[in-house]
Structure 1
């Protein structure tokens, strides 16, 4: 599946969803081994437009490669990236359930 950020934004109206685009340079992202979990996120849909990532929620690891889309459960997580640069688009349904 090849999809662009603009196509993803068009699928999810701003009144019902939040769409967030992130670029991560692999050479700038080596601090995760030193500092551990990145934080907490709400459940969302994750599209990887470039590169490869692994989200880890406790013992659950979710691998997402370029061109793939997967549902993330939310909670405390760690993000690991592959060897190259990464472009990620996360989509959250509004309002957030707390």
Structure 2
């Protein structure tokens, strides 16, 4: 099964995560990802149960807000995303401006 990634982008550690993950010990109490971006390493560590607690940080406020929404209100966030995604397919230019 593939791990879901909310924000796949160039420069993400998503493809490197399995390689980097080999060096992560088992049983980490808290996994810190100070420059989270798309939180690829946190997602990897959580998926493989490498830690029991996760702390992510980033200075780019929109990504921080998105990640918080995904964690705290996953259903609401997914529904809002679906509305935006489907709306852009209607030829509505407001989604591109």
The structure with the greater share of residues assigned to helix is 2
Question: Which structure is larger by alpha-carbon Rg, 1 or 2?
Answer: 2
Greater relative CO, 1 or 2 (CA 8 Å, sep 6+): 1
TM norm. shorter chain > 0.5: no
TM-score (ref. length: structure 1): 0.28
